[in-house]
Chain A
């Protein structure tokens, strides 16, 4: 008890300013050192001010645009110079993605996007292409998203003229080398074997399947069987759908615009291709509420709660963005505050929301120890339920979310590469040309009726898909949160 005396005395003079600090040299006092008499650190007079009271001058953010033009074959080109670094980034977005894969060849779009970069192109074998690009420290990458594929080339500006025609070869005249196809395919198979190693990956995949339907264009996933079935011909067939019509070519960085236009014309005007693939997305919304339990003996449970986000180009986007911020943003959102700050139940609790062709995805996420998973889930569902009630978000919460959206807007224009890519993508998805120009007004004009509608959709209690990856025995009975489906193998989840 004696030991605590200095501390208690210190409490009485807690406002005494700190004077000279002792210099502490190693080694530090041992484990059972007597607590020092202390007061808490005080702010020096010059810093003893309320940061919230600092006045902020108005800021004008210009919505800048890249130069945009079309080639005669339909390819839309965006150019934006930025001479910050001696680098140029060339990106192509082609209108073929995972949703365009045949159902028995799932995975082929990813293999195609990688193989065009790895399998040789034009007159070059794979090895010659690799050597040429890597000698010049150029990065060539390809990947497939749900609705498009992307191939990008990052080069030093000094190498642009020499390597741009090579990039055109990669897109238009890939060689699909057989040995490289085998390597690419076997690596994809290996990652399928390994995708169950990480419980967070399991949770994300289970949620996507639960929300969109395991056989729907957006919920289905590749498997060992569908990848094993893929042949080089399948890749070629899919690549044949890569077409300049509705494709986008985005070039940003340190270049001379006139010179680049000549390069583009020379390398891309002759690119031919058929019509872009047509797609029919299912129109059904998420199924009725359920708990999907993926039993795994892991030290930390992964919980993901999914709902429906906005349909692309819908006015729901604006209120849903605000509601998502109020629910799940770092340090501010209700989930973060209730699960992490109030109770220390998780390292992070957050939510995200996005748009989609039919409906987008809303996800509330947190990871927690098995023994406290039920408690954390109760808190999370309570937060969602309460938020879903009309007028539950306070004026202050909405004002915070609105300020965040408006004040971060400048960062959508902080680099040429971001500006041009966002423009290309929003045009690709059919957004109005003035989408970005009107974005701030639309955020600022969100009404409480819109907010109520958004919270009701995002947190719709009878449509929530609750995914839990964790040790079944420790978790106990989850049926109070909804009918439980146990999925031992997420690959086989149908």
Chain B
């Protein structure tokens, strides 16, 4: 069967953030269901490529936290044609490594890895790994990109998405498409058990030694019950230590389906020439069904939830309320509230806490940890030394309460609109920024035009909308508060 190529060129729409953007995006759906978004930009002889998967921490199960992120690390270890010196031999050895390594992981889970059996398995695994090393070059993928001028080669995993990206000189399009399609189809999970250790180091770095990391892990754990947003993307140390290769391979089969992936290229290329290349490479990845969305019901908060974390750092705190996910209209209103409260030096909380009352060194208002499920609207404060957390909290709640009784002025809302539109323009100024935005919206909402519609959605929000949302959600009795500080220090 000939692959089905459909390119939809869209009518121009004038959007102040990105004039003419809509007319410059070509959408291509490959025969296996994978969607590509292509934007030509000829200012420099380079391009940025993104592959995003609709899989993240939200798709994990209890007991296997951190798997999405660990898998992303494993996807850098090459393919059957990249990183091996003898594929048939290596393949046989990999199965043996999985047998031994996963048996050991099960003992780890049971807490008996130190038994005689565990020690024997460790010895066996070490010997197998040594044989395997001789057959492979696990950095072949990174090296190949780098010698070809790859810049910004990386990947990220969050609670919603997993994303692989790199920028390359324009004469490397075929190389990019081949490598990325290969790793989507058949990543070889080389050296899984070493990488598992590496990710545990990443956890130590991003959470255990980082006061902000600890604070937000605690906040999410407290705020959610069955919602998988409750655990950090990096996962828990015990789950990581006991993770099996078999589980990682299942994860790939289930979530790395072309229909669950979005590709995006922005840069110096000819779209018409690119389409056959994408069909030949990514289009060759076997079609598989799109995985189902996770299902859970998080019980509503009945009472305020509070925690204090003792940590060797100066005090900081976060106050959160639950926020509905898109496409709820309220989600857009919360976007407005973020700016209204935290913008530059004139946002309401900035003005009061930092400049007028000087209670805080800094205030941030943002939402986390994702948008595929109910999430959190968070006010994060770094207080000045000696300022009590209760005084900060009182000031924050007073500002939030004000919004319930007095709607923002028309001028305030216009300022917010200007800010959201201009910041969006800033974020898509670079090839990487535009590729990131388009692929993100396509992966999350099946619709990259979300980016184009955003200014209109924001423009439609009225002062009454802001007042209504503030009244509905800013309920101190159903909020979540975490403070952090030194043993015996001020709270």
Q: Contacts A31-B63, A131-B346, A190-B385; is A299 near B204 (CB within 8 Å)?
A: yes
Residues of A within 8 A of B106 (CB): 32
With an 8 A cutoff between CB atoms, is A274 at the interface?
A: no
Q: Quick check: B171 and A183 within 8 Å, CB to CB?
A: no
Residues of B within 8 A of A336 (CB): 139
Residues of B within 8 A of A343 (CB): 194
With an 8 A cutoff between CB atoms, is B281 at the interface?
A: yes
Q: Contacts A332-B139, A415-B44; is A300 near B415 (CB within 8 Å)?
A: no
Q: Quick check: A40 and B94 within 8 Å, CB to CB?
A: yes
Closest to A130 in B: B345
Task: Count B-side interface residues using an 8 Å CB cutoff.
Answer: 119
With an 8 A cutoff between CB atoms, is B232 at the interface?
A: no
With an 8 A cutoff between CB atoms, is B211 at the interface?
A: yes
Name the distance in Å between A137's Cβ and chain B's nearest Cβ.
4
Residues of A within 8 A of B174 (CB): 54
With an 8 A cutoff between CB atoms, is B406 at the interface?
A: no
Q: Type the 1/0 row for B72-86, where 1 means its CB is closer than 8 Å to any CB of A.
A: 000010011110000
Residues of A within 8 A of B133 (CB): 342
Q: Quick check: A330 and B250 within 8 Å, CB to CB?
A: no
Q: Quick check: B147 and A38 within 8 Å, CB to CB?
A: no
With an 8 A cutoff between CB atoms, is B209 at the interface?
A: yes
Interchain CA distance A307-B210 in the complex, whole Å: 27
With an 8 A cutoff between CB atoms, is B352 at the interface?
A: no
Name the distance in Å between B465's Cβ and chain A's nearest Cβ.
21
Residues of A within 8 A of B139 (CB): 331-332, 336-337, 341
Q: Quick check: A87 and B345 within 8 Å, CB to CB?
A: no
Q: Quick check: A42 and B43 within 8 Å, CB to CB?
A: no
Q: Which of A44, A180, A347 contacts B284 (CB 8 A)?
A: A44
Residues of B within 8 A of A15 (CB): 88, 91
Q: Quick check: A369 and B204 within 8 Å, CB to CB?
A: yes
Interchain CA distance A265-B295 in the complex, whole Å: 63
Q: Quick check: A38 and B249 within 8 Å, CB to CB?
A: yes
With an 8 A cutoff between CB atoms, is A59 at the interface?
A: yes
Q: Which of A47, A86, A126, A180 contacts B19 (CB 8 A)?
A: A86
Q: Quick check: A36 and B246 within 8 Å, CB to CB?
A: yes
Interchain CA distance A169-B315 in the complex, whole Å: 38
Closest to B91 in A: A14
Dominant secondary structure of chain A at its interface with chain B: loop
Closest to B287 in A: A21
Interchain CA distance A41-B75 in the complex, whole Å: 13
Q: Which of A138, A200, A298, A331 has the most CB of B within 10 A?
A: A331
With an 8 A cutoff between CB atoms, is B404 at the interface?
A: no
Residues of B within 8 A of A298 (CB): 209, 312
Closest to A325 in B: B146
Q: Quick check: B143 and A54 within 8 Å, CB to CB?
A: no
Q: Which of A50, A59, A331 contacts B143 (CB 8 A)?
A: A331
Q: Which residues of B contact A (CB under 8 A)?
A: 16-19, 41, 43-46, 61, 63, 76, 79-82, 88, 91-92, 94-96, 98-99, 102-103, 106, 109, 133, 138-139, 141-144, 146-151, 153, 167, 169-172, 174-175, 178-179, 181-182, 185-188, 191, 193-199, 201-202, 204-205, 208-211, 246, 249-250, 252-254, 280-281, 284-286, 288-289, 291-292, 294-295, 312-314, 343-346, 354-355, 358, 361-362, 382, 384-385, 411, 414-415, 418-419, 421-423, 425-426, 428-431
22 inter-chain pairs at a CB distance below 8 angstroms, sorted by A residue, are: A8-B99, A24-B250, A24-B254, A47-B186, A47-B281, A49-B178, A50-B82, A59-B171, A87-B426, A131-B346, A183-B355, A186-B358, A190-B361, A194-B313, A298-B312, A344-B193, A400-B143, A403-B148, A404-B146, A411-B167, A414-B43, A415-B43
